[in-house]
Amino acid sequence: MQADSWNRVLRNATLASCAAGEPAAGLRERAAIAVGGDRIAWIGADRDLPALPDAVEVVDAGGALVTPGLIDCHTHLVFAGNRAPEFAARQRGASYEDIARAGGGILSTVRATRAASEEALLALALERARVLMTEGVTTLEIKSGYGLDLDNELKLLRVARRVGEILPVTVHATLLAAHSVPPEFAGRADDYVDLVVATVLPAAVSAGLADSVDAFCETIAFSPAQVRRVLDAARRHHLPVRLHAEQLSNSHGAALAAGAGALSADHLEHLDEAGAAAMAAAGTVAVLLPGAFYFLGETRVPPVGLLRRHGVPIALASDFNPGSSPLLSLRLAMNMGCVLFGLTAEEALAGVTRHAARALGLDDRGTLEAGMRADFVVWDAARPEELAAQVGTPRPRATFRAGQPPG
Ligand code: NIG
Ligand code: FE
């Protein structure tokens, strides 16, 4: 243990390590966490702390809860406009699919987003990212998918990248060009997939703008055969893949994703046992999105028991988007994961930390362990259950990002 290289120590903390194999969120009371540079240098009981050089800043946490920084592993953060009129139409009886088939839904956001400048989109995205950061989010996935042509998809990915450059949050950018068939390709979905595979994806790769590739496998979007072409192309470009699967119907997208070695399959309300088994075998994370379930008034919950039985890691995310999940709160998604889907409070916390990191292919974060990136949150709370049991409170007292204290 080399306390000489430490910058600061937080002691008298209640640590929820969220590490694998530790019971009850890995809770340790009267514990200390030492930061050296951007890493967690040491973690242990207060009484086992070594003598500290004067240069090390020591902070007494007063028994406060400390968790890993929260990770929102599924958002559509970059878009213009809003879809409140469609919400109103749904309240009058229209369905999400009816609205989509009539050219609304995702395509109405595509029209607004294509018309918006990169700077305007950046301003909106920064404002939204800051809201998530006030909840203790330190890593954020952002998908494209409201551009649906070469220039506009790249515009969205550039905005995602700039969010991560401007704000102290890690951004994982995902190319979701196969989100919907754009109007100029109406009735020609295969031709649009050709464009995605031959032009958009290679351009995103060569500009270094995509960390993974996603697609929407659904009757109102792309068929399994079309999705397979997109995932295969991503693999040829050495990009990891993920998939919107089994949200509104069972298209066997989860098994398709798992077969492609996907990092995650997301939504999964209509997942069947074969899909769960395939995900378990491939190590594909199940990302559950209770916001979309809630806003669309769905009644079929994802088969959490099946996921548990097969040992599929479960992550939770906001799915923040203007249509199916205008929910800019990962904390509320945790609570909804418990109340609507029956997750335990511990599962909800693991779902926005350890398992969310895995859904992004990031092995340097998501738990409080020596050697991990020093992304952590000191909460106005004493117990980890408080994060899922309550909404709006508790608040982060301080969020450390790569070892840097706030402000
Ligand atoms: O994750 N399911 C597909 N995509 C989004 C919805 C996007 C939209 O409605 O604008 C989702 O729910
Ligand atoms: Fe989504």
149 pLDDT more than 90: yes
Which tokens go with 54? 């004067």
Q: What does each C-alpha distance from 126 to 155, 162, 318 come to in angstroms?
A: 15, 9, 16
Does the reported pTM lie above 0.95?
Answer: yes
Q: Which of 106, 103, 163 is nearest to 137 (CA)?
A: 163
Strand, helix or coil for residue 374:
coil
Q: How far is the CA of 30 from the centre of ligand 1 (A)?
A: 43
Q: Is the CB of 83 under 6 A from ligand 1?
A: no
Tell which one of 109, 179, 242 to mutate to probe ligand 1, the residue whose CB is within 8 A of the most ligand atoms: 179
Q: Is the CB of 180 under 6 A from ligand 1?
A: no
363 pLDDT more than 70: yes
pLDDT digits (tens, 9 = 90+) for 214-237: 999 999 999 999 999 999 999 999
Strand, helix or coil for residue 148:
coil
- Quote the CA–CA distance of 372 and 260 in Å, as a whole number: 28
Q: Is the CB of 209 under 6 A from ligand 1?
A: no
337 pLDDT more than 70: yes
Which tokens go with 158? 């550039």
Instruction: Please compute the mean of the pLDDT values over residues 287-297 and round it to a whole number.
Output: 97
Q: Which ligand is nearest to the CA of 99?
A: 1
pLDDT digits (tens, 9 = 90+) for 112-122: 999 999 999 99
Q: What is the pLDDT of residue 287?
A: 99
Q: How far is the CA of 4 from the centre of ligand 2 (A)?
A: 45
Q: Which atom of ligand 1 is nearest to the CA of 74?
A: 1
Q: What is the pLDDT of residue 24?
A: 79
Place of tokens 């109103």: 88
Q: What is the pLDDT of residue 19?
A: 95
- Per the CB < 8 A criterion, the answer to whether 175 and 204 are in contact is yes
Q: What are phi and psi of 10, to 5 degrees?
A: -105, 120
Cα atoms in the Cβ-side hemisphere of radius 13 Å centred on 174: 31
Residues 6+ apart with CB under 8 A from 26: 15, 16, 17, 18, 19, 367, 368
Q: What does each C-alpha distance from 258 to 235, 254, 282, 327, 361 come to in angstroms?
A: 13, 6, 6, 28, 14
Quick count: other Cβ atoms within 10 Å of Cβ 94? 14
Q: Which ligand is nearest to the CA of 143?
A: 2
Q: Which ligand is nearest to the CA of 179?
A: 1
- Per the CB < 8 A criterion, the answer to whether 244 and 217 are in contact is yes
Q: How far is the CA of 266 from the centre of ligand 2 (A)?
A: 8
Q: What is the pLDDT of residue 1?
A: 65
Quick count: other Cβ atoms within 10 Å of Cβ 289? 29
Q: How far is the CA of 147 from the centre of ligand 2 (A)?
A: 15
Nearest CA to ligand 1 atom 1: 319
Cα atoms in the Cβ-side hemisphere of radius 13 Å centred on 254: 32
Strand, helix or coil for residue 336:
helix
212 pLDDT more than 90: yes
Q: Which atom of ligand 1 is nearest to the CA of 106?
A: 10
Nearest CA to ligand 1 atom 6: 324
- Quote the CA–CA distance of 197 and 51 in Å, as a whole number: 58
pLDDT digits (tens, 9 = 90+) for 1-21: 689 999 999 999 999 999 998
Q: Is the CB of 74 under 6 A from ligand 1?
A: no
For residue 188, the one-letter residue type is R
Q: How far is the CA of 363 from the centre of ligand 2 (A)?
A: 23
pLDDT digits (tens, 9 = 90+) for 61-84: 999 999 999 999 999 999 999 999
- Quote the CA–CA distance of 313 and 73 in Å, as a whole number: 13
* Helix 118-134, helix 150-166: angle, nearest 10: 40
Q: How far is the CA of 3 from the centre of ligand 2 (A)?
A: 44
Q: Is the CB of 290 under 6 A from ligand 1?
A: no
362 pLDDT more than 80: yes
Q: Is the CB of 16 under 6 A from ligand 1?
A: no
Q: Is the CB of 318 under 6 A from ligand 1?
A: no
What's the distance, CA 52 to chain centroid?
38
Q: Which atom of ligand 1 is nearest to the CA of 79?
A: 10
Q: List, in sequence order, every beta strand (DSSP E) within 21-145.
A: 27-36, 39-45, 57-60, 65-68, 70-72, 137-143
Q: Is the CB of 108 under 6 A from ligand 1?
A: no
Instruction: Please compute the mean of the pLDDT values over residues 351-376 and round it to a whole number.
Output: 98
- Name the percent of the chain lying above pLDDT 90: 96
pLDDT digits (tens, 9 = 90+) for 171-186: 999 999 999 999 999 9
- Per the CB < 8 A criterion, the answer to whether 233 and 197 are in contact is yes
Weakest-pLDDT range from 94-103, 172-181, 192-201? 94-103
Nearest CA to ligand 1 atom 8: 323
- Per the CB < 8 A criterion, the answer to whether 125 and 160 are in contact is yes
- Per the CB < 8 A criterion, the answer to whether 173 and 210 are in contact is yes
- Quote the CA–CA distance of 274 and 280 in Å, as a whole number: 10
Which tokens go with 202? 């290679």
Q: How far is the CA of 60 from the centre of ligand 1 (A)?
A: 44
- Quote the CA–CA distance of 323 and 296 in Å, as a whole number: 9
Place 258 in a pLDDT band, splitting at 50, 70 and 90. very high
Place 338 in a pLDDT band, splitting at 50, 70 and 90. very high
Q: Is the CB of 96 under 6 A from ligand 1?
A: no
Q: Is the CB of 17 under 6 A from ligand 1?
A: no
What's the distance, CA 302 to chain centroid?
17
